[in-house]
Amino acid sequence: MKKRILGVLALVSIGLYSMNLNLSKISNESPLLSVENIQAMASGGESGGVVDPNEMQGYKMVRTTKSDGTIKACCEQERPQDKCNKKSEIGCK
């Protein structure tokens, strides 16, 4: 009976020890991965460029002058490689 109890205690202690090693390994890697992810997002991912949240991919700035002389500059959908900055729009809805 004592051998069974000692055997169970030995297995439990080995299990807890290995679980502790795995948890410490995970907690040591997590901050590094988080920092790398933040840096990747800040640099624009794999492209290495800065991401502008106002820039619309596939849109082009189209400027028109109305008959009353007012200028209208809006982002309109064009080719996929075009870019348009939403903050630069004038007189658009």
Q: Give whole-number Cα distances, 55 to 5, 46, 86, in Å.
A: 67, 18, 6
Listed in sequence order, the residues at least 6 apart from 71 whose beta carbon sits closer than 8 Å to its beta carbon are: 63, 64, 65, 90, 91
**Global confidence as pTM:** 0.37
pLDDT tens-digit readout, 6-52: 888 888 888 777 777 666 655 555 555 567 777 766 665 555 556 67
pLDDT of residue 17: 77
CA angle in degrees (0–180, nearest 5) for 74-78-83: 70
Confidence check: pLDDT of 68 > 80? yes
User: How far apart are alpha carbons 79 and 16 in whole angstroms?
Assistant: 59
